[in-house]
Structures are given as C-alpha cells and as structure tokens.
Amino acid sequence: MGDRTRLHFQEELARLEEAALGGVDIVRGQLERVMEALEHQDIELAQIVIHDDDRVDGRYLEVHQGILSLLALQAPVAGDLRVVAALLHVIKHVERMGDQCVNIAKLIPLSGHEPPVREEILEMLLRMGRAARSEMMQSRSAFVARDVALAADLVRQDREINRLNREIFRLAIHVGDDPDTREWAMHMTMVARALERIGDNAVDIGEQCAFVVTGLFREFDHPSTAPSR
C-alpha cells in the first residue's frame, strides 16, 4: 500500500469509526427520550422515538457499507484489520440498542394514558435507564481511548442493571390481584429486560475495544446469564 493510498485508508477508517461511535450518541438521545416518555406516560414522545429509529438504521447502513467498500478497495494490515472487524460489531450493537429503545417505546401506549403506576417499580426502571446510559457512554469513551481497563469496568455497572432487573421482576409478580396493575407490571418487566439488553450490548462494545488493543477476543465476565444478545 503506497503512502498516499495508506493515508487515504487511515482517513477513511477514522471517519467510519467516528460515524459508528456517533451512532452511540444518537441512541443515547433515543434512550433519554424513551425514559422521559416512560416517566411521564408521554405516548406522543414514545411515537417520536419509534419514528426516529430510521436514523439509527441509516447510520448502521452507512458504516456497514463504508467498511465493505474500504475492504474491497484496499487490504488493511493486521492492526487496521482489527479496527475494521471491531467496527462491524460495534455498529451492530449500536443498532441493537436502538431497537431496544423502540421496544420500550412500543410498550408505553399499551397501558393507556393513566396506568396504575407503582412508583417503586417506576423508580427502579428510571435508575436502570440512567445506568444503561452511563454504560453506553463509558463503552464509547473506552473505544475512543482504547482503554481496556475502562472497558472491563463496564461489567461492574452491568451487575447493578441486572440486580435491578431481577428486583423489578420480583416486585411485578407480587404486585397484587388488580388485573390492570398486573398488566402494567408485566409490561414493565419487558421494559426492564430491554434496558438490560442495552447494558449487555454496551459491554459487547467494550469487548471490541479490548480486541482492538490486544488482538485477542475474550468475553468479559458477563453477570447476565442470558444466552443471546
């Protein structure tokens, strides 16, 4: 690869990395909006989140196609190839996090405008949302800085998300006999599950950071026992 060609490759790879990690910023906005919609039962805001998913999907296609085009034109050396491979995974996890925001948004209208909210469960969900946002942004920072220790620390935060997920499920199954309240509580367990998946995908992005730095892929010690992400 000539010097000029190599410089072009490096510039294009940097642009694609910026675009992929910019997708994390888009999803962060989606998560913030959907948690606000959940807190205030704002069905209109939930609809905006659903419609805005096209932005996340568009970013996925942009990065994915850009990487394939880059590979078709030039053969990267080992270090760059790791970044290329990692970015394909990163943008996939970004797209999945966006899908989970949409899943939450679709659950919000199911309980109507004035659902029988149990404040304890709602507060735990809001804590989960804040933790998921924190994990998401930490995974982005770790990848930018190529900071393996910061990436591995995501597991610590993920434990708290998983603890809250289990606690919400426990509260939901003992919520009482009122059918409307039980239905709302079951919907909230699905919201909690979606937030837990966002956390898992953030950990996955951290794992890609470690792969870029070390050249070895290893799964961090996921506290979740879920079989898929």
* Domains in the chain, CATH or no CATH each: 3-214 (1.20.58.220)
**pLDDT value for 201:** 98
**pLDDT value for 77:** 78
Residues with Cβ within 8 Å of residue 215, at least 6 apart in sequence: 78, 82
| Cβ proximity of 190 and 169 under 8 Å | no
How many other CB atoms are there within 10 angstroms of residue 215's CB atom?
11
| Cβ proximity of 155 and 220 under 8 Å | yes
Instruction: Give residue-wise pLDDT tens across range 6-30.
Output: 788 889 999 999 999 999 999 999 9
Query: What radius of gyration do the chain's Cα atoms show?
Result: 19
Eight-state DSSP code of residue 178: -
Q: What are phi and psi for residue 168, nearest 5 degrees?
A: -65, -40
Alpha-carbon gap, residue 37 to 31, rounded angstroms: 10
Q: What are phi and psi for residue 112, nearest 5 degrees?
A: 85, -175
**pLDDT value for 119:** 96
Write down the pTM of the prediction: 0.92
**pLDDT value for 229:** 44
Nearest CA to 197 out of 170, 157, 228 is that of 228
**pLDDT value for 217:** 85
pLDDT per residue of the chain (229 residues) written in tens, 0 to 9:
567 777 888 899 999 999 999 999 999 999 999 999 999 999 999 999 999 999 999 999 999 999 999 988 777 777 899 999 999 999 999 999 999 999 999 999 998 888 999 999 999 999 999 999 999 999 999 999 999 999 999 999 999 999 999 999 999 999 989 999 999 999 999 999 999 999 999 999 999 999 999 998 888 875 544 444 4
**pLDDT value for 148:** 97
Alpha-carbon gap, residue 28 to 176, rounded angstroms: 34
**pLDDT value for 73:** 79
